[in-house]
Chains A and B, each alone.
Chain A
């Protein structure tokens, strides 16, 4: 009774999702999939065939933002989108999303947008059998989990070589480490600087650029976000979706977030962190303050060596706080960049202190789990304040 097993797995997943929400023990983005996959290991293959088009997005930085922009374009065009939310980009995250979406009958046209982390890509892509795959970039990130850059690209190559040749593979042409992928698959297309004209970086207010004759405005700062938008737009065009400007687009929490008292920028690896420092440095004013938070949980990477490959030297000498489970490692890193910081490992207290007497803006730069923690603290505060 293979079909019974699938229904049982979906049911179990739905019950777990309900329970986790009811008892507030998680967002339900991983556990339902994790347990349902134990009952029906082929759950993804069996549910994904109901979705007519599937896109997979991978890379070290920008997955969530790219997925969100693509989803935004698709939804503006009236498509129903299914995707794994909240950066839950392992197999269990995909399964959880499919379970949450599962309803009978399933007749409406939908687009599946799946972000996969560098390692999960290889095991999950053969199950999703996507129509389009987007490779954004590759650099050092949590090497304790993924292995070295060469190995990541070689493994991607292996996975691509076994895919249906009708799949379209979109590659960022300006990332030299990705160039090798062109030799592993026949149907590849590139996106990059060559497609962009009239780039205007308007500081923290976002950016403007032109593709063919269309002007785009995004409320995300920095060149790296333009690449995310370009990847999403290129993919949308391949899907024949009408692409309008992106002014209504709202970024994911913490990737770049405007708060009433400042900004949040996620930092999680050397390439990404250095981009963030470069983006904010020209816009930090004398009365602004900085708050950096470094955690070493599994989702952050348990190796904090990466902070020594990130250019903290670019940060301005403003009043700075450091926090997180590895607050002292950050304090040492800043000291060696000739920057001083107040150490407060407790993030809630650090935030309180940093806001006390704040006359300018607070630039908060957390790692992934510190960002989730921050989200909880701030949500609670908003409720208390409104």
Chain B
């Protein structure tokens, strides 16, 4: 069995430990005897339908983010990613990636960046940076991470949040929601890195990608780190 991970704009959108999510997906598949191939999809590459089993989209800085936003639109990659998610391909997007997969992102003093429109959400730049440890309650149990963003994301009526805030700011620091889940695509603001300390979510994404039920792993260290994070200030 083989797993192909499509790492979107890995060279431009890759901060705050985004690599940890790729490492977690790769290792947790390999430990189960599944061969993993990593494909970086960036400015000059094309994405074919059915080429990747799962996508990861990390965060970026403002300049890179606008470059990527226009490439998603002009190259048609945004449309393909959306179609792939529509047919059930799983995706994880953190921070900047999450923002670009919404309907639009409006930075300070600059024109709107177009979004892919995958998540029924939009983001506006805020004045306050929302920084700190974050805990949310979700269908995967409690998720722990670290958020660091000034963009405020608002879900449309049809948007389903990934979870409810137990601690931290979340989407916009106001409505107690964090992230968005649409079909098998998850977008959120949680760094940390997210997947290593939240193995339930990592395995859910892998199961959706491989369309099989996975054997559980010994996650005692991961769960200890998770527990430690639940108790952080």
Contact = CB atoms under 8 A, between A and B. Distances in A.
Interface of A: 140, 143-144, 147-151, 296, 302-309, 326, 328-329, 331-333, 335-336, 343
Nearest to A337: B23
B146 A143 contact: no
B196 A332 contact: yes
Contacts of B221: 328, 331-332, 335, 343
B61 A143 contact: no
Interface in B1-38: 15-20, 23-24, 27
Given A328-B221, A331-B225, A336-B27, A308 B196 contact: yes
A333 B196 contact: yes
Best-buried of A148, A305, A306 by chain B (most CB within 10 Å)? A305
A151 B61 contact: yes
B205 to A, nearest CB: 16
B17 A307 contact: yes
B132 A302 contact: yes
Interface string B192-233: 110011000000000000000000000001101101110010
A149 B228 CA distance: 29
A296 B20 CA distance: 18
Given A304-B146, A332-B196, A332-B221, A149 B19 contact: no
B62 interface: yes
A370 to B, nearest CB: 16
Contacts of A343: 221, 224
A246 B10 CA distance: 42
Contact of A332 (B19, B129, B132, B222): B222
Contact of B146 (A148, A150, A305, A332): A305
Given A144-B148, A331-B221, 11 more contacts: A143-B16, A305-B192, A308-B19, A309-B17, A326-B225, A328-B221, A329-B197, A331-B224, A335-B221, A336-B24, A343-B221
Contacts of A306: 16-17
B18 to A, nearest CB: 8
B15 A143 contact: yes
B17 A308 contact: yes
Given A140-B15, A307-B17, A308-B19, A326 B222 contact: no
A305 B20 contact: yes
Contacts of A151: 61-62
A305 B232 CA distance: 15
Given A140-B15, A328-B228, A332-B225, A302 B133 contact: yes
A119 to B, nearest CB: 13
B28 to A, nearest CB: 9
B220 to A, nearest CB: 10
A329 B225 contact: yes
Contact of A150 (B61, B131, B193): B61
Interface in B110-148: 129, 131-133, 146, 148
B55 to A, nearest CB: 19
A374 B141 CA distance: 37
Contacts of A150: 61-63
6 contacts: A140-B16, A144-B146, A308-B19, A308-B23, A328-B227, A328-B228
B191 interface: yes
A326 B62 CA distance: 30
A34 to B, nearest CB: 22
Contact of B191 (A303, A326, A335): A303
B16 A305 contact: yes
Contacts of B146: 144, 302-305
A327 to B, nearest CB: 8
A295 B15 CA distance: 20
A303 B232 CA distance: 11
B137 to A, nearest CB: 21
Contacts of B24: 336
A302 B232 CA distance: 10
Given A303-B146, A306-B17, A336-B24, A328 B224 contact: yes
Contacts of B63: 150
A17 B121 CA distance: 53
Contact of A328 (B17, B129, B225): B225
Given A144-B131, A151-B61, A336-B196, A308 B20 contact: yes
Given A328-B221, A332-B221, A335-B221, A308 B15 contact: no
Interface in B61-88: 61-63
